Amino acid sequence: MLQASWAIVHQRPVRGDWAVLLLLAGFAVQYCLALSSEELRHHALSASIVLYRTYLLSLCGTTALYRLSPWHPLASYPGPWQARVTSLWLTCRSLRGQRYLLLDNLHRRYGPFVRIGPNILSINSASAIPLYVGMEKSETYRRHMRSPGFELFFKPAVTGQHRERKRIWAGLFTANGLSQLMPNLERRTLELMQCMERRQSQSERGLVDVKEVFSHWAFDYTTDVIFGGCNQFELMKKGDPCGLAVTGKIAFAAIDTLGTSPWIMELLWSLPVTPKRADTMLSLIGETVQKRLRLRPEFDDLVSYLLHASVDDEDIERDVYIAIVGGSDNIAVMTTLALYFLLAHPDYYQRLREELDAAFPDPTGSLPANDLAALSLLNGVINEALRLGTPFFLPRIVPKGGALLDNRFIPEDTIVALAAYSQQLSADNFFPEPAEFHPARWLPDGLGPHTKTDKTVLASFTFGPYACIGKPLAYREMRHALARTVLTFDMSLPPEFDVPAFRAGILNMHTTFFTHKLLVKVARRPGVKLESVYC
């Protein structure tokens, strides 16, 4: 029995829910055998427990010994011994939210290849980037839902389905598709300005939590993009009593952290309960999709493209869920981070203000996307926030035959992930002061003659067939929100705001959690009369 279990465990990944069922079934068989034996019948239960405990301990013990042994295919890669024994080591550390710092330390200690799980390598080398182009998503992305489906983001069930669905979405991000989304971006961002002033005037301390306002703005705009203006969420107006903006965030964080031990996710998903928040969100999405299907949208929204390609209603709902979370959360996070960095570096805030004032002498006028795209410091601010704020861990699986990287052979089926944070903060790629916020490093003259800014290692939107499809829209949204905010307001942090504590409280689990509020004082700049443009 031990040999059979060994063969199963070491041949292929075993689903957590099936493993538990198999173990229970094995125990039941053993108990029945004990009952049928003359000798054991009277103490069948205790005898079965002892036997089964011995079996389980032997299985775990021999597995641990094998994983630590020189016969394991990854034996030559260094790493902490606990990580070699069990994936739970990485899962526990991932749950603390600062895995990227841990990995960075491990790379300093062990070099560019570190074994961070029985079958997982973290690679701190720019040479790992081309691997993303040819590799499949790891088991972390296996679809953690009860019903089958093939929407984006998860691991495709059938080859080609992901590519086909991505082709459908791509219409939204063409020049024509994007241009239809711009009037709403203008409108929603003006509403954001109103929302900041309103919430500040309602707050006891006369401060506004920018993190929350950006999150509601990003949610409202993203749901416009999806439902063509027929949406009822309106978080900027109504607030977020059901926690819609954080529900998907928690789901992504769970996949990112618990997904490092996929069997845990499978066990959780096999439980017959859905968290209440997720239920509320799913039913609200279902209602909104049904409402949208009965209406004509104001422009070509995501649902239009899916309908045009005859995607069925159930899959539309799934894609919409992904779009809401993928489309709103990162935008909210990155805009918040960019503003935090600007407020913590008033010199750059001032320089950005000057660039914007020169480009838009009328601060209430429209902000055409092409004009914003031409502003080099604005782009520098965004790229610098992305560089420092996206320490993603995106695991991929080495294909049949293995892969050769920096003269090291990586066996097939190994899970590999680029150490994005270490690359994005490496002095080899970004120099000088790689850990500091210096948007000017992205300007043509950089930070002086010795500047190094290697754009190719910025992994914020990742690479290859699974790269972010929303990147062109993401840049437009971030540019627009930052430009409008800086043109409209004088902003400052209250004297008691602890700048380093805010940064230390940033946790990343694919999505970012800010443990501190970003409380800011906003004051309308003299002469900026937005009332005439609010509609």
Shortest distance in whole angstroms from residue 389 CB to ligand HEM: 8
Q: Please give the Cα distance from 358 to 61 (Å, whole number).
A: 68
C-beta closer to ligand HEM: residue 244 or 447: 244
- Using CB under 6 A, which residues numbered 426 to 465 contact ligand HEM? 460-462
Which C-beta is closer to ligand HEM: that of 47 or that of 483?
Answer: 483
At its nearest, how many Å lie between ligand HEM and the CB of residue 394? 5
Asked whether 302 and 225 are in contact (CB, 8 A), the reply is yes
d(CA 295, CA 230): 8
Annotated binding site for heme: 468
Q: Does 326 interact with ligand HEM (rule: CB under 6 A)?
A: yes
**Which span (35-43, 54-62, 431-439, 468-476) binds ligand HEM, by CB under 6 A?**
468-476
Give the list of residues 6+ apart from residue 22 with CB closer than 8 angstroms, or none: none
Mark residues 229-248: x for contact with ligand HEM by CB under 6 A, - for none.
--------------------
Indicate whether 177 belongs to the interface with ligand HEM (CB under 6 A).
no
Alpha carbon distance 507, 516 (integer Å): 11
Q: 334 or 482, CB closer to ligand HEM?
A: 334
User: In the complex with ligand HEM, which residue's Cβ is closer, 207 or 236?
Assistant: 236
Per CB under 6 A, the segment of 235-243, 284-292, 305-313, 325-333 that binds ligand HEM is 325-333
What is the C-alpha separation between 331 and 338, in angstroms, rounded?
Answer: 10
Tokens of 526: 């003299």
Q: How far is the CB of 273 from ligand HEM (least distance, A)?
A: 26
Residue found by looking up tokens 């500091």 in the block = 436
Minimum distance from CB of 474 to ligand HEM (Å)?
4
Beta bridge partners of 415: 120, 397
- Per CB under 6 A, the list member of 244, 469, 519, 522 interacting with ligand HEM is 469
Query: Do 402 and 409 touch, CB atoms closer than 8 A?
Result: yes
334 touches ligand HEM (CB under 6 A): yes
Kindly state the number of chain residues that form the binding site for ligand HEM, as judged by CB under 6 A: 22
Q: Which of 140, 293, 309 is nearest to 226 (CA)?
A: 293
* Alpha carbon distance 110, 441 (integer Å): 30
Give the separation between CA 349 and CA 357, rounded to whole angstroms: 12
153 binds ligand HEM, rule: CB under 6 A: yes
Binders of ligand HEM in range 381-400 (CB under 6 A): 390, 392, 394
State in angstroms the smallest separation of the CB of 314 from ligand HEM: 18
Q: Tell which one of 118, 327, 363, 391 touches ligand HEM (CB under 6 A).
A: 327
d(CA 395, CA 216) in angstroms, rounded, equals 30
Per the listing, tokens 């019948």 go with 41
100 lines the binding site for ligand HEM (CB under 6 A): no
What is the identity of the amino acid at 337?
L
CB atoms within 10 A of CB 431: 17
Q: Among the candidate windows 70-78, 241-249, 329-337, 492-500, which touches ligand HEM by CB under 6 A?
A: 329-337
Which residues define the annotated binding site? 468
Check if the beta carbon of residue 487 is closer than 8 Å to that of residue 228.
Answer: no
Cβ distance 352 to 486 under 8 Å? yes
Q: Between 194 and 462, name the residue whose CB sits nearer to ligand HEM.
A: 462
Tokens 């799913």 map to which residue? 282
How many other C-beta atoms can be found within 10 angstroms of the C-beta atom of residue 461?
17
Contacting positions for ligand HEM (CB under 6 A) = 152-153, 166, 322-323, 326-327, 330-331, 334, 390, 392, 394, 460-462, 466, 468-470, 473-474
